[in-house]
Amino acid sequence: MSQIIFSILLLATLVIFSYSAFRIYQLFKLTKPAYPVKDFFKRIQRTIVNAFFQERIFRNRIAGFMHAMVFWGFCLILIGSIEMVIDGIAGTERVLAQLGIIYDIIIGAGDVFAYIIAVFIVVFIIRRTILNIQRLHGKELQKKNHIDAIVALSFILILMITLAGMNIFYIAGHSDFVGTYPISAIIAPMFSSMSADTISQLHDVCWWSHIIMIFIFANVLPYSKHFHIFMSIPNVFFSRLTPLGKMTNMDSITKEVKLMMNPETAFAATPENEAPPTRFGILDVEDITWKNFIDSLACTQCGRCTAVCPANITGKELSPRKMIMNIRQRMKMKGYNLVKNPEYTDGKTLIRDLIKEEEIWACTTCNACAKECPLNIDHPTFILDLRRYLVMEESAAPAPLNAIFSNIENNGAPWQYSNQDRLKWVE
């Protein structure tokens, strides 16, 4: 009966998660191309360094160390969770024990990490609720964002407590237990006075509580900021390989320039059925690229980007974290309606309704945010595309920039002097 109940719960979890994943996939279909994904060796190398070794997270030594330990612990504990799924379906107990010493190492490390993660999660909760860590607050973080973070951290804490309880009562109820449990083995003798039935029942309570919490947590994540647990590694893998300061050219504009410079060559290279661009730059979510969207799903809202932004530090409106959050927020507002009806409009746009022009033009494109982000989110490229829309579609650049554009058009240089007067400064 327990196997049947477990299989039903597992099937329900997979169905619900598949439904959530399919809905997100539908939103990705609304996005535009970003860049070709190639150089897989470099991408794998970057993923190992940035994602698995958590290179950037260690720039903040204390918080970075704690976060890295939680991440590495989860990777090890995941193996134990896979074992639980196999045991639940097959009715076995500790089925991976046949791996021998490898199993001892994995389970032993998982047991230690359960307690480490539990302690660090408590610290994280204290930092969010009691300590006034500036980067964990901001005008873009509403009450629901803080509740979301606390709920997710509480889920993880309960998972670690039930995992530790499961190990403790497994040892207490078996004289011939398999695996190594460095910490739980010290605690287990404290419960030796209990009856065998009580110990068995407590073990079952911890086992079922742990696996059900995993099932629930997995289906809460797609609607939480902690969806980065799934999206962080893919986002690092698909991140741009070119230098951060390199700004990309727009293909449609490049073709227009080539057409002016050499009409015959340009016409020969352009397919006859190629449609003209519907819009230059980004106005709303239907204009973003798949990389912009995956950035928004991977964002942890940690605030490291905003904390190093010189515009934000000097009191400007710009918050790189807010801009990435706005992508996901706007996609929730409009995306599912666009899936049902491609012509849908709610009379709002990403620019102005969620992101002010002042924020867009405050960016210095210094790339400090992108360099600091532990998940390789590319904020400046997104901001640049917002600017491209304002300039190329609305001619809505600030007055000083419009003057520069006019000077370039008339004088071939950003200054207001003609070419003939360019060397007068020598005199």
Distance CA 5, CA 200 (A): 19
Structural contact between residues 330 and 31, judged by C-beta atoms closer than 8 angstroms: no
When pLDDT is cut at 50, 70 and 90, the band that residue 266 belongs to is low
When pLDDT is cut at 50, 70 and 90, the band that residue 426 belongs to is confident
- Spell out a b/e string for 278-301, using b for 16 or more CB atoms within 10 Å of the CB, else e: eebbbbbbbbbbbbbbbbbbbbbb
- Mark whether 153 and 298 lie in a shared domain: no
Name the domain boundary from 195, 227, 259. 227
Q: How many domains does the chain have?
A: 2
pLDDT for residue 267 is more than 70: no
Residue 256: the pLDDT is 78
Q: What is the DSSP string of 313-360?
A: HTT-S--HHHHHHHHHHHHHHHHHHHHH-TT---S--HHHHTB-HHHH
Distance CA 178, CA 94 (A): 8
- Mark whether 118 and 255 lie in a shared domain: no
- Mark whether 15 and 104 lie in a shared domain: yes
Question: Which DSSP symbol is given to 48?
Answer: I
Where are the strands (E) in 249-312, listed by range? Answer: none
Distance CA 401, CA 318 (A): 19
Residue 402 lies inside a defined structural domain of this protein:
no
CA distances from 103 to 84, 110, 114 (A): 14, 10, 16
- Mark whether 258 and 192 lie in a shared domain: no
Residue 246 lies inside a defined structural domain of this protein:
no
Structural contact between residues 24 and 294, judged by C-beta atoms closer than 8 angstroms: no
**Backbone angles phi and psi of 32, in degrees to 5:** -95, 160
Residue 204 lies inside a defined structural domain of this protein:
yes
- Mark whether 286 and 324 lie in a shared domain: yes
- Region for residue 138 given its phi and psi (left: phi exceeds 0; alpha: psi -120 to 50; beta: otherwise): left
Residue 358 lies inside a defined structural domain of this protein:
yes
User: How confident is the model over 133-190, as pLDDT tens digits?
Assistant: 888 888 889 889 999 999 999 999 999 999 999 999 999 998 889 999 999 999 999 9
User: How confident is the model over 276-310, as pLDDT tens digits?
Assistant: 677 889 999 999 999 999 999 999 999 999 999 99
Distance CA 183, CA 194 (A): 20
- Mark whether 223 and 305 lie in a shared domain: no
- Mark whether 34 and 73 lie in a shared domain: yes
- Mark whether 85 and 168 lie in a shared domain: yes
User: How confident is the model over 336-389, as pLDDT tens digits?
Assistant: 999 999 999 999 999 999 999 999 999 999 999 999 999 999 999 999 999 999
- Mark whether 282 and 144 lie in a shared domain: no
Distance CA 355, CA 340 (A): 25
Q: What is the CATH number of the domain that holds 257?
A: 1.10.1060
Mean pLDDT for all residues in the chain: 91
Rounded to two decimals, the pTM is 0.89
Residue 401 lies inside a defined structural domain of this protein:
no
Residue 204: the pLDDT is 94
- Mark whether 223 and 262 lie in a shared domain: no
Residue 124 lies inside a defined structural domain of this protein:
yes
- Mark whether 221 and 349 lie in a shared domain: no
Average pLDDT over residues 1-23: 95
Owning domain of residue 38: 2-227
CA angle centred on 131, ends 130 and 137, rounded to 5°: 100
- Mark whether 79 and 38 lie in a shared domain: yes
User: How confident is the model over 15-58, as pLDDT tens digits?
Assistant: 999 999 999 999 999 999 988 899 999 999 999 999 999 889 99
